[in-house]
Amino acid sequence: MRILLAEDDKIIADGLSRSLRQGGYAVDCAYTGLEADTALMTNSYDLLILDLGLPKLPGLEVLKRLRARNVQLPVLILTALDGTGDRVKGLDLGADDYMAKPFELAELEARVRALTRRSSGTAPVITCGALTYDQAGRVAQLDGQNLDLSARELGLLEILLSRVGRLVSKDQLVDHLCGWGEEVSHNAIEVYIHRLRKKLESGGVRIATVRGLGYCLEKPQEPGAGR
């Protein structure tokens, strides 16, 4: 999952982005409203965390422009402007959630999980054959046993699970896994996929390679299928 964090306080932005990256998210930081607006027009994101008090272009204007382009990206407003009027205006312009500073990091991370889960249209727990994935706790299990996955492997699994039965290209995987300044080559993606595939194969969960195009987490066969 790739997040755009629009926050002009670099101390807050650094701490929050570091925490989110440790959780397996790719995070880009924009420190002005103009940077955020440009990033939103040129990149694909799964969530926008938006401060209202941005320089050069106010956060509400960033949000207004985003919705004017008919982009349905989930938006979490994070700001020191916690008056009722500010909350109402932000929500009326199309924000999905609102948190006032100071905030508890654990609560913000829970809201991030809820918003990305809601936008993907998937259930809190995704099942694919012997594989289950708890989106709230971000825990994957195979045959009831927890899988030991790196942050990259977990990120890949999330993307594939959100598109079970559909092709996901290497470029799409890179876009969702990497923030600005991070470089993950197609060869690295192949390595991560190989490791993930090895951890899933004992449960009969298969990641198919579509040569030259990408990967597909195959749908489990229905009982009796193929008979």
Residue 16 lies in a domain: yes
Q: How far apart are CA 220 and CA 120, in angstroms?
A: 20
Which DSSP string do the residues of 160-221 spell out, in sequence order? HHTTTTS-EEHHHHHHHH--TT----HHHHHHHHHHHHHHHGGGT--EEEETTTEEEEPPPP
* pLDDT per position as a tens digit, 4-33: 999 999 998 998 988 888 877 888 999 999
The last residue of one of the domains, among 89, 120, 151, is 120
Query: Is there a single domain that holds both residue 59 and residue 132?
Result: no
Q: How confident is the model at residue 174 (pLDDT cuts 50, 70, 90)?
A: confident
Instruction: Examine the pLDDT at 148 and tell me if it is beyond 50.
Output: yes
Query: Is there a single domain that holds both residue 143 and residue 114?
Result: no
Domain that holds residue 116: 2-120
Q: How far apart are CA 135 and CA 23, in angstroms?
A: 12
Q: What is the pTM of this model?
A: 0.65
Tally of domains in the chain: 2
**Confidence at residue 212, expressed as pLDDT on a 0 to 100 scale:** 81
Query: Is there a single domain that holds both residue 81 and residue 103?
Result: yes
Query: Is there a single domain that holds both residue 112 and residue 183?
Result: no
Please state, in angstroms and as integers, the Cα–Cα distance from residue 95 to each residue in 8, 47, 63, 182, following that order.
19, 11, 7, 28
Q: Which helix (H) or strand (E) holds 47?
A: strand 47-50
Q: How far apart are CA 43 and CA 7, in angstroms?
A: 17
Mean pLDDT for the chain overall: 85
Query: Is there a single domain that holds both residue 114 and residue 130?
Result: no
Least confident of 63-77, 176-190, 206-220: 176-190
Residue 222 lies in a domain: no
Residue 225 lies in a domain: no
Query: Is there a single domain that holds both residue 114 and residue 21?
Result: yes
**Confidence at residue 167, expressed as pLDDT on a 0 to 100 scale:** 92
Least confident of 20-34, 56-70, 86-100, 174-188: 174-188
Least confident of 42-46, 147-151, 184-188: 184-188
**Confidence at residue 81, expressed as pLDDT on a 0 to 100 scale:** 65
Residue 103 lies in a domain: yes
* Interacting residues of 140 by C-beta distance below 8 A, sequence separation 6+: 131, 132, 133, 134, 146, 147, 149, 154, 157
Instruction: Examine the pLDDT at 225 and tell me if it is beyond 50.
Output: no
Query: Is there a single domain that holds both residue 39 and residue 102?
Result: yes
